Structure 1
Amino acid sequence: MSDIQIISQNRTTILFDADIVSNPDVLLFDPEHWRAQQSLTGESTGRGTTYFFHYQQHEMVLRHYRRGGVIGKILQDQYLYTGLTQTRAWQEFYLLAKMQQSQLPTPVPVAAKIERRGVGYRADLITLRIPASQDVFQLLCQQELSAQQWGKMGQTIRQLHDQQIFHHDLNIHNLMLDQQGKIWIIDFDKCQRKNGHVWKQQNLERLLRSLCKEKQRQPCFYWQEDDWEYLCEGYNGYK
């Protein structure tokens, strides 16, 4: 079990796994610090920029929380502060930690920073990078996946659903495949444990919509309806 600790100073709170990092400060969450140290190993641009960096013997992923949609154009990375345990970084960090206890194929949380500003806050999250992996979307732009791989995708989603884990944004960009053929699920912002079962089918339908959208948008995208059947077979057949 991880050793989660909390330090607070000057309206900034950092929670961290002391088994991975010890006595972290705000520089841990500064990509320019890692660039200056020549430890920045890559960047990925989406709603914001995700940074990859090397720290001690670990490869890590740094993500700054940013809003999407129309409100994101105004507030960008500001959120209303209603208590530390209600912040998005706190909730995602602890959800990831609980999923690790259940041995689910999800990222390992390393540290989170919540910085209060007036009535709001800004936040960052660091996780361990999934080794030798690529997001499934990028793979599908290059090649077909086998029926077995689609089946494993369905099995992995079922593992989360059996633990009542609701993924707020289950889309093809948030599924990873490593070199050992293992499927991982990432990006658990706004995700939670959820009772009931109706939402599980809605979760799957969200993933299907993302596949259909990318099929229309990309000049080359190796996905077809039969692949979805393989995924569903893996989901329904998992025990």
Structure 2
Amino acid sequence: MEQAPCISQIATLLADPKRTAMIWALMDGSAKPSEELAMLAGLSASSANAHLARLAAGGLLRIEARGRKRFFRMAAADVGAAVDALASTTMASVARSASSRPVTALLAPASLRQARICHDHLGGEMAAALYQRMVLAKWIERFEQWLHVTPLGARHLAEHGIFTQALAQHSFSTMACDCSDWSEQQPHLGGALGAGLLQLFMQSRWLKTVNESSAVQVTETGRLEIARMAAV
């Protein structure tokens, strides 16, 4: 057990709802002053500063001095990725539980809801819409619990430079799978195909990363080209 990673240290920092609220407000890659974060979390200035100091000392936030004010932002992209993964797991676990209460989407900045990096693939509204178009266009289909790329889908994907046979040979992950999306009521595409599509979008400069955030900026060309993909 001594060799186990000390994930409990990070878990402890994220366990407090007030600290989580402040980190969540920074998920879009922005830098915010302590006063604004205090207001968002419903804390006094002194309490917010104490929480922010712990988050900064733990390596989750970075402090930027601007005159007499201190601004806080995510320390690195891996912090946002970890919080995003926790949000996705939270939504998926609620859906799997025996509870009959409906799953409600988590509130977040518009840029995160629109498009973001989820693990190694695209998440958000844009990704969920692309998933639904691929299903309707019969590029992908479900067989029992598994998601498959159809021959029709493989042909169309090859036209975009995505070769599913090559992905299957060079990837250790599943070709295609559902990924729970914490901001949507429907899944987006994960697996090797999801990663391949994100790589295509980034290399085509349709998407651009935003600071240390998991959010991505969609260019006008990217918006048009991704919307055309699998359009019925």
Which TM class, normalised by the smaller chain length?
Answer: under 0.3
Q: Given the two structures, how large is their TM-score scaled by the length of structure 1?
A: 0.24
Q: Which structure shows the higher helix fraction?
A: 2
Between structure 1 and structure 2, the one with the greater Rg is 2
